[in-house]
Structure 1
Amino acid sequence: GVLLALVVWFYTWAGTYFWLYAWGAVTLFSVFMAMFYSQLIVPLFNKQTPLQEGALRDKIQAFAGKVGFKLDNIYVIDGSKRSTKANAYFTGLGPKKRVVLYDTLIDELTEEEIVAVLAHEVGHYKKRHTLRSMVVSVIQMGVLFWLFSLCVNNAALSEALGGDRAYFQLGLIAFAILYSPVNLILGVGMNVWSRSNEYEADAFAARYYEGGYLVSGLKKISVKSLSNLTPHPLYEYIYYSHPSLLKRIDAIKRIHE
Structure 2
Amino acid sequence: MCPSPFAISHLAFALCFGFALVLGEFTLLFWWLYPLERVRRGLTLSRGEYLRLRVGLVFEMLAPLLAVALVALAVVSALYHPRGRSAGDPLWMGLMGVAGVALGVIYTRRGLMLPVRSLSLAQPLQEEVQRMGRELGVQVRTLLVLDGARARMANAFALSGGRIAITDYLLASLTEREVLAVLAHEVAHLAQRRRLWRLWLLKLGAASGLLLGLAPFWRRLPAWSHLLLMGALVGCMAAPMRWLRRQHELEADAFAVSQYGADAMKSALQKVAALHGAPKESKKGIHPSLQQRLARLEQFATR
Give yes or no for TM over 0.5: yes
Cα distance in 2 between the residues matched to 1:47 and 1:76? 9
- Per the alignment, residue 247 of structure 1 pairs with 292
- Per the alignment, residue 87 of structure 1 pairs with 155
Q: How many residues align?
A: 223
5 Å matches for 1:1-257?
14=81, 37=107, 40-43=109-112, 46-49=114-117, 51-52=119-120, 54=122, 57-65=123-131, 68=134, 71-81=140-150, 83-92=151-160, 96-125=161-190, 128-145=191-208, 147=210, 154-157=218-221, 159-160=222-223, 175-232=226-283, 236=284, 240-257=285-302
Q: TM-score, normalised by structure 1?
A: 0.65
Change beyond 3 A, Cα 1:175–1:245:
farther
How far 1:122 sits from its partner (Å)?
1.8
Change beyond 3 A, Cα 1:7–1:226:
farther
CA contact under 8 A between 1:60 and 1:115: conserved in structure 2?
Answer: no
Cα distance in 1 between the residues matched to 2:271 and 2:124? 23
What amino acid sits opposite 1:48 in the alignment? V
Cα distance in 2 between the residues matched to 1:152 and 1:224? 57
Change beyond 3 A, Cα 1:176–1:141:
farther
Cα distance in 2 between the residues matched to 1:7 and 1:132? 19
Change beyond 3 A, Cα 1:227–1:182:
farther
Cα distance in 2 between the residues matched to 1:116 and 1:9? 43
- Listed one character per residue, the Cα deviations across residues 41-67 of structure 1 (whole Å, up to 9, x for unaligned) are 124x5433564253xx42242354367
Runs of 4+ with >6 A deviation: 1-13
What amino acid sits opposite 2:270 in the alignment? K
Deviates most, 6-15 or 206-215: 6-15
Partner of 1:117, secondary structure, is: helix
Deviates most, 133-142 or 143-152: 143-152
Which consecutive unaligned segments of at least 5 residues does structure 1 have?
162-173
What amino acid sits opposite 1:215 in the alignment? K
CA contact under 8 A between 2:141 and 2:163: conserved in structure 1?
Answer: yes
Deviates most, 240-249 or 61-70: 61-70
CA contact under 8 A between 1:77 and 1:100: conserved in structure 2?
Answer: yes
CA contact under 8 A between 1:78 and 1:103: conserved in structure 2?
Answer: yes
- Listed one character per residue, the Cα deviations across residues 122-163 of structure 1 (whole Å, up to 9, x for unaligned) are 2334xx421111111122234345556657982244x535xx
Cα distance in 1 between the residues matched to 2:72 and 2:204? 13
How far 1:206 sits from its partner (Å)?
0.7
Change beyond 3 A, Cα 1:223–1:9:
same
Deviates most, 45-54 or 102-111: 45-54
How far 1:11 sits from its partner (Å)?
10
What amino acid sits opposite 2:268 in the alignment? G
Partner of 2:177, secondary structure, is: helix
How far 1:118 sits from its partner (Å)?
0.9
- Listed one character per residue, the Cα deviations across residues 198-244 of structure 1 (whole Å, up to 9, x for unaligned) are 22211111111132121121122234445442234xxx4xxx33211
Instruction: Give the root-mean-square deviation of aligned CA atoms.
Output: 4.4
CA contact under 8 A between 1:67 and 1:208: conserved in structure 2?
Answer: no
How far 1:248 sits from its partner (Å)?
0.8
